Structure 1
Amino acid sequence: MRAIFDKAYYCPGDTIVLHIESSAENLFRVRFLKLTDCVFETITTKKNIEIVVPPNAFGGYGVDIEALDEHNEVVDKIHRGITVAKKWSDFPVYGYLTDFRPKRYDIEKTLNWLTQYHVSALQYYDWMYDYHKLVYEEGDLYKDAWWRKRYISNKILKELINTAHSKNIVSLAYVSIYAARKNVAIKHPNWAIYVHDKDKINLLDFSNKLCIMNTYKNSGWTKLLYEECKKVIEFGFDGIHLDQYGYPKDGEALALEEDTYKPYNTSRGFKEFINELKKFIEKPLIFNYVDNWPSELQNNLKTEIVYIEPWECCPTLKELSRATREARKRSNGKIPIIAGYINHNFTESILLTDATILSSTGQRLELGEYKRLLSGPYFPNDWGTVDKNLATHLLSYYDFFARYRDFFEGEFKLIKNAHEICENASTEPEANKIWISILNLKAKKACMINMVNYIGVEKLTWKKPLSQPEKLENICVSIPFELISFENPDFYFVSADNQLEPEQISVKLFQNRYEIKIPHLYYWSSILIISNKKEE
C-alpha cells in the first residue's frame, strides 16, 4: 500500500488530497495525528481522501492508514508524515533540478516524486544563459553557460516553475555571486579583483574560464547583477541561490579603486551584496558557505537558510554534526542544508550521514530530478539512480523528519554522561558507539532522545563507503529524572528506519531514573517522552 500526497507541505486551512494505492477494495481507516493525539479520523471506501487542515495547525503531523477487511481486521497499513506551515521557509526541505532540455516529457512525474519526500524548494542548477546575462531574451533555446553544450528551453523552465507551484514547491535560480567572463572583466577593470603574481598583478580567475568580481555594494558588477537578478524574478523564479568558489579569503586579493589596488575583503563583499540584494528584490535568498566559509556571516546574512558545502572542514561525521549544530545556533535557528556529496552506491554512508545531520537539526541536499541522488559538485554530471530499497528507506527518513518536525525545530542538547544512559553510548558521533542526543520541544512538555548507531562502524569518514552498523535489539536505556523537565512522562518508541507510528513502551522506576527497553536500533531510532498530564 502507498499513500500519495498532492503537495510538498500544507498551509493551515488547506485541503490535503490523499490518494491511496492498494489492492484492497474494502475499508480504509485514516487518522491524522499530532504526536500521539488523533485530531481527525475517518473510515471510508474511497481511495481519494480529502482532509481539511485545521486553521490553527502548524508543524509536523502523522498520517496513518489501515486497510480493513470485511471483518474490520487490519490487512495492511502505512504510516507517513507531513508538515503544515505558513510558507516553505518555515520548514524547508531542499532539492535540485538540472534537466531543462526542450523535449523534456517527465515534469509532472519528477515533481510528484519529489513531493512525496516533502521537497519544498528546488535549486535550478546551471540554468542561466551567461554569468553576467542570466535570462536569455532572444527566444526559447540556448546552451548552458559553463560548457555551451546542453540545450536549455525557457518554455521548459517556466513549465517546471509552474508545475512546482501547484505542489507548493518554490524554484530558486542558481547564480554565481562573483563570476564573469574574462571579456567582461577586461572591459570593466574596476569591477574585477586581482592577485599578485610575482612582480605582476593579474586578474583572479576560476578554472581558466571565469574571473572573480568585486561584490562591494558600490561595485559596477554588483549593480549589473542586481538588475539581472531582478529579471530572473520577473521571468518567474521565486528566489536566488547564490554560489561562490571558496576563495579568495579576506585580504588575499586586491580591488581596483580609483586606479589604486587596495586589499579586498571578500566576506564584506558577500555581506554587502546579499543584504542589499534582499532589499532590492525582496525575495528568498540562499548563499553557499563553501567549506563552511565565511561562517561568521551566518548570524547576519538575510537568507532563508544556511547552506554549507563541506570539503576539508568536515572529514568525519563528528565534525559534520558540529558544523550543522553550530550553524543552526549561530544563525538564530535557520535550518542548515548540507550539500554533502556521497556516491549514490554507498548506502550505509548515505543513511548514517543523513541520520547524523537530521539528528543535528539540519538536512542534506541529496534528492533531485527523478530518483536521482547527488554525488558530486557539478550537478548535471550526476546521473546516479537511487536503488529501490534505499529510496524506500530514505522516504521513511523524510517522513520521520516531517512527522516530528516540531522536535527538530526545538532545543538541541548534548547528553553529557551518555555512557550512563546505555551501554556503548557517546556524547558525540564516534566510531563503534551509539550517539545519544536530546531535542526539547518548545512550549510543550515533550522531548525526543535520538540514538544513531555506529556500532560496528570503524571509521566515520562519511564520503567513503561505511560499514553497515550492527543491528541491536532490546536495548536497556536508563534516563535520569533531571534529563526530563516535566512530570508524568509517557515513553514511546519510534524509528526513522521502519516505525513512524509511536509505540508506547513500559517504564520502571529505579531510585532517580526511568528504566526502559528499546525494541531495536538499526541506523536511527528515537524515544518520544511526552507528559500525560493534560494542560488546562
Structure 2
Amino acid sequence: MGFILRDEPGEVDHEKYNGFYASKPEKSVSVFNRMMLVFLLVLTFLLPAVHTTDQVFAYSDGSVIQEVSTDLPRYNPGQKVNITVNLANKTGVSLNNATATLYFNHLEKQIGSDKKTFTLNHNESATLSFSWLPPGTDFQGYLVEVWIKDSAGNIIDHLNTAVDVSSTWTKFPRYGYLSTYNAQSAETSAKHVENLAKYHINALQFYDWHWKHHVPLSGSVDNPSETWKDVANRTVYKQTVVDYINAAHQSNISAMAYNLINGAFDGYETDGSGVKKTWGIFEDHTHNNQWGYPLPNGWSTSRIWFMNPANTEWQNYLINKHKDVFSAFNFDGWHVDQVGEWPNINKFDYNGFPIDQAEGFASFLRNAKAQLPNKSIVFNNVNTYGYEDTVKRDVDILYMELWDDRDFSNVKEFLDKQTTLSGGKASVFPLYMNYNYQEKFSDSSPGYFNTPAVLLADAGIFAMGAQHLELGDNLNMLCHEYFPNKHLIMSEELKKKLLVLYDFAVAYENLLRDGLVNTSNRVELEGLPSSTKSEANKVWTFTKAGKGYEVIHMINQLGINDPAIRDKEGTKPAPTAKTNVTVKYYYSNGPVTRVNYASPDYYNGKTYQIPFTTGSDTNGNYVEFTVPTLQYWDMVYIQTGSEPGTLLTNGGFETGDIQGWTEWHPSGQTAKYGVDSNDAYEGTKKLYFWDVNAYQQSVHQVKTGLPNGTYTLTAWVKTTAYAGQPLIARMELNDSYTNMVVDGTWRQYSADIYVSNGQVDVGFYIHSPGATSMQIDDVKLIKK
C-alpha cells in the first residue's frame, strides 16, 4: 500500500487534509491559515535543522504492531481490562524511545488514554501490557486504538481492538461452537478457546458433545463415563469436554450444551431409558410408521426417531435428563435444536391426531425454562420454521439457521420481524458459506473459503444488527450444517480481515444491536446506483435512528451479479471499491452538528469526523458529505440538535460565526478572531484568536434567568505561542479565571460556579505580544 500520514486522537487531522479529500481542494483558506503558513516558513529558515538516526517518516501497516488483544471477550461492569500489544520491529531501523499510546473510545468520544515508551532494535520483538478500568455502565462497547510513534513523533503504525462491557452474553451474543472432543491436553483446549476469544466470542455451542439424543449423559451424574460415542460414532473424551468448559469460563465465555428437542436413537423402547413409543410423531393415523431422519451407515443409530415436542411426558423426561447433564457438567445452558419443516409429510401423534410441531416447540421451551430458570435457553428456528411462536417464549436469544438463496433484504426482514415479536431479543444467524463448493474437498484435503463472500456476508449481517455463527473449534469456519465438517478453511488474509470486522461489531454494538429503530430516510449516492433493497450491482442502503444518532449503512454490491448471501459455488468477487463517495442524506431532526464516519475497511474501524454542508430541496432538509472510500461496508452516524443540558448558544461555533457571543477588542485595534474548519476539535468549526502583532481579544456570552445552583463550564482550548508567551490567556467564568497551558495541545478546561443571582458570564480572553493563537471549541455550560 502507499504511505500516507494518518491522524490519532488529539493530533492534527493530517488525513483530512492530505489524503481524505486530496482530489477535492478546499474552496477557501482562512486568513489565519495563510498567516500561520507564512510565519512557520520563516521559522523554518531561522531555526537550526535537527538530525536523528532513528526517525521513521513513513507509515506502514504491521511494521511494528503484530497483534493487539484483550484478555477476555466480555467484561462485567467494574472488571479490569488487560490489553496485550505484541510488537516486532520490521521498519528497517532501530526505534529508540518510541511510544505506544492507547486511546479508549466510546463511539466518537475519547474517554481515556495510556502511554508506554519502548526501545526496539530492527527485527526484535517485545510485548507491552496495559490495563484499563472502563466506566461502570453496563452493555457498552469500546474501541481501543493503539498508535506507535518514533521519538520524533512520527506515526509509524496503528491497530485497534475492542472491549465489550456486559453483565450477560445474551445482550450482544457472539456465538461460536465446538464440535470435536478428541483426547488432548488441557493446554490445547485452552488455546483453542483463546483463539476464539480473540474474536470476542462470548458463548460456545458444544455441538454433538453428548451420548444419545434421548440419553445425553453417558454414565451417571456422580460418575460420568470417561469416553462415549456420539451420533456419528466418534469418540468423545469426558476430560476434553470438562477442559473446554473450564477454559470457556476462565475466558468469561458461556458454555451451551447442544441437543435435539425431539430425537431418540434406535432401540429407545428397550434400552432402559424409559422413553415410550406413544410419545412419538408418526406419518399416518395408525402409528405404524414413526417419522425419522435417516443417517449414514456406520453411525450410532440408523435414524433419529422423532418425538412429539408437545407431549408433556416427553418434555418432562428430556428436561430431567438435562438436569442430570447440568449436575454432572458445569454447562451454562441448553442449545435446543430441531430439523426444520419437512414438506409433504403429514404428522400425527400416537392416537392419530394431527400435530403442529411449532406449537409443540413453544410449549416445550416454556416448560424447559420454568424448570431450568438459571440456565440460558437457545432454540434453532430452522429456516424460520416456527419462529412466530417460539421467539415470544422463554428463549434468551433468537437463533435461526438460514437456507435457500436469501439476500440481505430477506434476512433483514426476518430479523426485524422476530426482533419486534420478541420484544427486542438479540439474533444469531447460522448460514453455511460456499455450501456447494465445499463438496469438492475433504477434511484431509481442504480448500479455502471465498474471502470476499465471507466478508460481504458478515458486513451485511453485522450492519443489520445480527451475528453470524461461523467460528469454532481451532479457529475453523462453518461450511456445512454438520459442524465437524472441515472441507474448507480460512486463509490468513480472511482471519486478519475477519478480526477487524469482529472488533468493529463490538466497538459499535450500541449503534448496531442496541435498540435503534429503522427509518425510511432518503439516501442518495452521487453517481452510484443504490437501493433500499439488496440488489445486484447496487449499493444497499438502509437507515436507523436512536440514542441521539441517525445512522446510515452502505453495503457495497457493485460488480456483484448474485445478491444471494451464501455464495454456494464460491465464485463471488469482491465488490467494486469506490473512493470519495458523495452522500446526500435527508435527516429527521436538526440541526446537524457532527457527521461521523467509520468502516471496518478503513483504518481498522476508527471513527473519523468529516466535513459536511446542509441545505434543503423538495425532498426536505439534507446533509451532504463525502466518505473517503466504500469497499464492503461504511457506517455514518450523524449527531443532530444540541447536547441535552447544554445552556450556551453556539458553543461549538457550528454556525460558522460567533452567533450568541459578543466580541471585545481595545479601541483602535481591529478584531483578531475568526471561525474556520481547520483542526476543529468537535464538529466542523472552531473559534480562533490570532495576529502576528501584539493584540488583545475576547468573546463573552451572558446567560440570565438561571435557577440557583452549581454549574460546570467546560471547553476545549489549544493555545500556541510561536514567539513570546502571552501575558494572559484564560477562560473566564464571572469573576473567576482559568489560565491556559500554552503548549499547542488541545486540552479540556473545567470550572464550577454557584449561581445565586440567575446570571453567568462565560468568556475567553488573550493578551498577546504577537504570534500567539488561541483556538476554542465545544464550550458547554451544564447545571449539576
| TM-score range normalised by the length of the shorter chain | over 0.9
Match of 1:288 in 2: 380
Show the 5 A alignment for 1:29-178: 29-45=101-117, 47-104=128-185, 106-137=188-219, 139-148=224-233, 150-178=234-262
SS at 2:362's partner residue?
helix
* Aligned residue type for 1:398: Y
- Paired with 2:487 and 2:459, the residues of 1 have a C-alpha distance of 24
- Paired with 1:113 and 1:97, the residues of 2 have a C-alpha distance of 12
Match of 2:624 in 1: 515
**8 Å contact kept, 1:447–1:530:** yes
Q: Which moved more, 1:376-385 or 1:186-195?
A: 186-195
Is 1:238 paired with 2:317? no
- Paired with 2:224 and 2:391, the residues of 1 have a C-alpha distance of 41
Show the 5 A alignment for 1:298-317: 298-312=390-404, 314-317=405-408
In structure 2, the CA distance between the partners of 1:489 and 1:30, relative to structure 1 (3 Å rule), is same
SS at 2:268's partner residue?
helix
Match of 1:463 in 2: 566
SS at 1:203's partner residue?
coil
CA positional deviation for 1:487: 2.9
SS at 2:381's partner residue?
strand
- Paired with 1:209 and 1:19, the residues of 2 have a C-alpha distance of 49
Match of 1:5 in 2: 70
TM-score normalized by structure 2?
Answer: 0.64
In structure 2, the CA distance between the partners of 1:398 and 1:420, relative to structure 1 (3 Å rule), is closer
**8 Å contact kept, 2:539–2:556:** yes
* Aligned residue type for 2:433: I
- Paired with 1:175 and 1:140, the residues of 2 have a C-alpha distance of 18
Q: Which moved more, 1:153-162 or 1:463-472?
A: 463-472
- Paired with 1:505 and 1:28, the residues of 2 have a C-alpha distance of 26
Match of 1:473 in 2: 579
- Paired residues, what number? 525
In structure 2, the CA distance between the partners of 1:116 and 1:241, relative to structure 1 (3 Å rule), is same
* Aligned residue type for 2:410: E
CA positional deviation for 1:452: 0.3
**8 Å contact kept, 2:170–2:426:** no
CA positional deviation for 1:251: 9.2
* Aligned residue type for 2:413: R
Match of 1:446 in 2: 549
Match of 2:416 in 1: 325
**8 Å contact kept, 2:284–2:352:** no
**8 Å contact kept, 2:522–2:585:** no
Percent of paired sites with the same residue: 25
* Aligned residue type for 2:579: E
- Paired with 2:175 and 2:465, the residues of 1 have a C-alpha distance of 14
SS at 2:585's partner residue?
strand
- Paired with 2:510 and 2:133, the residues of 1 have a C-alpha distance of 20
CA positional deviation for 1:383: 5.1
Is 1:376 paired with 2:465? no
Match of 2:425 in 1: 334
CA positional deviation for 1:143: 3.5
**8 Å contact kept, 2:226–2:237:** yes
* Aligned residue type for 2:635: S
**8 Å contact kept, 2:283–2:345:** no
Is 1:272 paired with 2:360? no
Is 1:192 paired with 2:280? yes
- Paired with 2:158 and 2:406, the residues of 1 have a C-alpha distance of 40
Match of 2:266 in 1: 182
**8 Å contact kept, 1:324–1:357:** no
Show the 5 A alignment for 1:299-448: 299-312=391-404, 314-343=405-434, 345-382=449-486, 384-408=488-512, 409-413=514-518, 415=520, 417-419=522-524, 423-441=528-546, 444-448=547-551
Match of 1:223 in 2: 316
CA positional deviation for 1:93: 0.5
**8 Å contact kept, 2:192–2:473:** yes
Match of 2:596 in 1: 492
* Aligned residue type for 2:283: V
* Aligned residue type for 1:455: L
- Paired with 1:285 and 1:250, the residues of 2 have a C-alpha distance of 30
- Paired with 1:62 and 1:287, the residues of 2 have a C-alpha distance of 31
SS at 2:349's partner residue?
strand
**8 Å contact kept, 2:177–2:204:** yes
- Paired with 1:382 and 1:304, the residues of 2 have a C-alpha distance of 29
* Aligned residue type for 1:326: K
CA positional deviation for 1:39: 1.3
CA positional deviation for 1:21: 0.4
- Paired with 2:133 and 2:346, the residues of 1 have a C-alpha distance of 57
* Aligned residue type for 1:473: T
**Structure with greater helix share of residues:** 1
- Paired with 2:614 and 2:232, the residues of 1 have a C-alpha distance of 66
CA positional deviation for 1:62: 0.9
- Paired with 1:521 and 1:397, the residues of 2 have a C-alpha distance of 15
- Paired with 2:643 and 2:521, the residues of 1 have a C-alpha distance of 30
- Paired with 2:341 and 2:641, the residues of 1 have a C-alpha distance of 53
SS at 2:267's partner residue?
helix
CA positional deviation for 1:45: 3.5
- Paired with 2:602 and 2:322, the residues of 1 have a C-alpha distance of 44
- Paired with 1:353 and 1:503, the residues of 2 have a C-alpha distance of 24
Q: 1:503 aligns with which of 604, 608, 624?
A: 608
Match of 1:254 in 2: 348
Structure 1, residues 115-136: CA drift from partner, whole Å, max 9, x if none? 1111101001111011111122
- Paired with 2:139 and 2:159, the residues of 1 have a C-alpha distance of 23
Match of 1:27 in 2: 99
**8 Å contact kept, 1:129–1:142:** no
CA positional deviation for 1:140: 4.3
CA positional deviation for 1:453: 0.2
- Paired with 1:291 and 1:214, the residues of 2 have a C-alpha distance of 20
SS at 2:432's partner residue?
coil
SS at 2:454's partner residue?
helix
Q: 1:203 aligns with which of 268, 290, 295?
A: 290
**8 Å contact kept, 2:315–2:367:** no
What are structure 1's unaligned runs of at least 5 residues? none
* Aligned residue type for 1:170: S
Q: Which moved more, 1:127-136 or 1:502-511?
A: 502-511
CA positional deviation for 1:419: 4.5
**8 Å contact kept, 1:175–1:241:** yes
- Paired with 2:491 and 2:137, the residues of 1 have a C-alpha distance of 39
Q: Which moved more, 1:224-233 or 1:187-196?
A: 187-196
CA positional deviation for 1:486: 4.2
Q: Which moved more, 1:82-91 or 1:525-534?
A: 525-534
What are structure 2's unaligned runs of at least 5 residues? 1-64, 90-94, 119-127, 295-301, 435-447, 646-784
CA positional deviation for 1:367: 0.6
**8 Å contact kept, 1:325–1:361:** no
